[in-house]
Structure 1
């Protein structure tokens, strides 16, 4: 994996962690 791409993905994930978390909880609950 490209380091630059990985870092951008990490920054995006950190900025939208609540969306990712809500999707994770939705998968877990239902």
Structure 2
């Protein structure tokens, strides 16, 4: 069972990974 703080932390990590993946996929088209 996760408490709400852990859920929020996990959600933030997942969002950060998704954003990094999007930036990584966009970088080749920028440079």
* TM-score, structure 1 as length reference: 0.50
**Alignment coverage as a number of residue pairs:** 18
The equivalent residue for 1:22 is 12
| C-alpha RMSD over aligned residues | 0.7
Structure 2 unaligned residues grouped into runs of 5+: 21-31
Q: Which of the pair has more CA radius of gyration?
A: 2
Structure 1 unaligned residues grouped into runs of 5+: 1-10
Runs of 4 or more above 3 Å deviation = none
